[in-house]
Amino acid sequence: MQTTKSKPTDKAAADLTGRQRMRTAFARREADHVPVSPDLSAMVPVRLAGRPFDEMFLDGRPHDGYASASVAEAYVDAVRYFGMDGWYIYGSLPEIIPEDRPQWRERTAPRPGGGQVKYQVADTPYGELTQEIIYFVDEPPWEESKPIKDLKRDWPRLRSMMGENEDWRWESEFKDRDRIGELGVYSVSIGIPQDWWFFQRHGGYNSIFFDYVDEEAYMADIMAYYTRYALARLAAAVHASPKPDEIMLGGSASSLSVSSPDNFRRYDLPFVKEAAKICKEAGVYSHLHVCGKSDKIVEMVAEETEVEVMEPLEEPPGGNIDIGEIKRRYGDRLCLKGNLNTFDFMLNASPAEVEEKAKRLIDECAEGGGFVLSTGDQCGRDTPDENLFRLVEVAKTYGRYR
């Protein structure tokens, strides 16, 4: 690692826990070594668990965040297995739902060829709302049918499920906070508006972009409603007990690989600004995730918001980020987390090639702190363990600050 000119931090005397190491980087300070937290999310942990994906996701256990309790536990096991710094994105608070609010009725059925299908139906004052999700044996689930199929027919139905009176309340205690403990940071994932709408709107981006153009005022009202909902949820999360380490603002579907800077500025940026402000006032880190192309979003976020961490800052061909240049431009504003390519490089490179690239990232980004050695968006299921072990090893050896 290149010699650092910054002064040692007050935590540098001894090795830190994964949580301390990540929080030190989020604060743009140097830890004992560069934190290393490849994005494993669900696929690698479930593979390591050795159970079918559908069983892991449909485990029937109480869980209020991303994926399921079994997937969350498998992630923590993977953190221990690889010796990495954890980024636990599975946390959330249970919403307190009034008895008279419509809710999903669910049933599952075997899927021909393996796996399961979950059928969801809700009876609302405005008619029936439906959703269908396929749970595969060997990969994560897929929304086969999303709730909003006809925009003006189905939005009132979904809004009634979310709360027409906007009388939102959440419980005040995280029940899974101890699952990750000091192995890593505890994060609550809240989607930004375009990302949330992607998971509601049947037909994907084609339908979404027609909505933006054909129903501009209607969509503005929908996004404003969701912004109020998400900010209420965020405020509950940052004031819950014990306090989360960060709020992860999920923006995968806001990627510039598919959407545009203008759409981000119109629909997402107002929410991101207010969310980051609430987080800062509460002493909780704000963390924006936008995969794929994100260069113009990085500029907006660094120059116009108080967001403190950004990732995965994907390199070409999946993204368009030169992370060394971003470090030079915005390293005094943002902690950067990234950015080894997952869908080709981490799958197919040799451990020696992973080592070489990881060292280059450390040389470009580690000086002064504020860098987490990581990957692009989620490592694929078949990513070789050897490549992940080598990434962790490089951070702990070559990436030592002292």
With tokens 């959703």, the residue in question is 131
Q: Is the dihedral of CA 258, 262, 263, 267 positive or negative?
A: positive
Which residues make beta-bridge pairs with 117?
Answer: 109, 134
pLDDT of residue 8: 39
Give the tokens for residue 175: 């029940």
**18-96+169-397, CATH topology level:** TIM Barrel (3.20.20)
129-149 pLDDT tens trace: 999 999 999 999 999 999 999
pLDDT of residue 14: 60
161-172 pLDDT tens trace: 999 999 999 999
Give the tokens for residue 41: 């999310």
**What is d(CA 215, CA 237) in angstroms, rounded to the nearest whole number?**
32
Instruction: Look at residue 36 and tell me whether its pLDDT is greater than 50.
Output: yes
How does DSSP assign 80-106, residue by residue?
A: HHHT--EEEEEE-PPB---TTS---EE
Arithmetic mean of pLDDT, 112-141 = 97
pTM for this entry? 0.95
Q: Please answer whether residues 249 and 275 qualify as being in contact, where contact means their C-beta atoms are separated by less than 8 angstroms.
A: yes
In single-letter form, the type of residue at position 362 comes to: I
| Phi/psi-derived region of residue 368, left when phi > 0, alpha when psi is between -120 and 50, beta in every other case | left
175-208 pLDDT tens trace: 999 999 999 999 999 999 999 999 999 999 999 9
Q: Please answer whether residues 25 and 370 qualify as being in contact, where contact means their C-beta atoms are separated by less than 8 angstroms.
A: yes
Count H helices, E strands: the chain? 16, 11
**What is d(CA 99, CA 125) in angstroms, rounded to the nearest whole number?**
14
Q: Please answer whether residues 286 and 235 qualify as being in contact, where contact means their C-beta atoms are separated by less than 8 angstroms.
A: no
Q: Please answer whether residues 329 and 302 qualify as being in contact, where contact means their C-beta atoms are separated by less than 8 angstroms.
A: yes
**What is d(CA 18, CA 3) in angstroms, rounded to the nearest whole number?**
23
For the chain, domain boundaries: 18-96+169-397
Q: Is the dihedral of CA 39, 79, 58, 105 positive or negative?
A: negative
Give the tokens for residue 323: 């992370």
pLDDT of residue 402: 76
| Phi/psi-derived region of residue 49, left when phi > 0, alpha when psi is between -120 and 50, beta in every other case | alpha
Q: Please answer whether residues 72 and 65 qualify as being in contact, where contact means their C-beta atoms are separated by less than 8 angstroms.
A: yes
**What is d(CA 228, CA 168) in angstroms, rounded to the nearest whole number?**
10
Confidence tier at 1 by pLDDT (50, 70, 90)? low
Arithmetic mean of pLDDT, 211-225 = 98
Q: How wide is the angle at C-alpha 354 spanned by C-alphas 350 and 360, nearest 5°?
A: 145
Instruction: Look at residue 2 and tell me whether its pLDDT is greater than 60.
Output: no
305-314 pLDDT tens trace: 999 999 999 9
265-274 pLDDT tens trace: 999 999 999 9
Arithmetic mean of pLDDT, 218-240 = 98
368-397 pLDDT tens trace: 999 999 999 999 999 999 999 999 999 999
- Mean residue pLDDT of the chain comes to 95
361-376 pLDDT tens trace: 999 999 999 999 999 9
Instruction: Look at residue 11 and tell me whether its pLDDT is greater than 50.
Output: no
User: What is the rounded (10 degree) CA torsion for 231, 232, 238, 241?
Assistant: -160
Instruction: Look at residue 6 and tell me whether its pLDDT is greater than 60.
Output: no
pLDDT of residue 310: 98
- Residue 146, classified by CB atoms within 10 Å of its CB into exposed (0-12), middle (13-18) or buried (19+), is buried
Q: Phi and psi at residue 400, in whole multiples of 5°?
A: -70, 135
Instruction: Look at residue 154 and tell me whether its pLDDT is greater than 60.
Output: yes
Residue among 170, 200, 155 nearest 98 (CA):
170
Instruction: Look at residue 89 and tell me whether its pLDDT is greater than 60.
Output: yes
Instruction: Look at residue 333 and tell me whether its pLDDT is greater than 80.
Output: yes
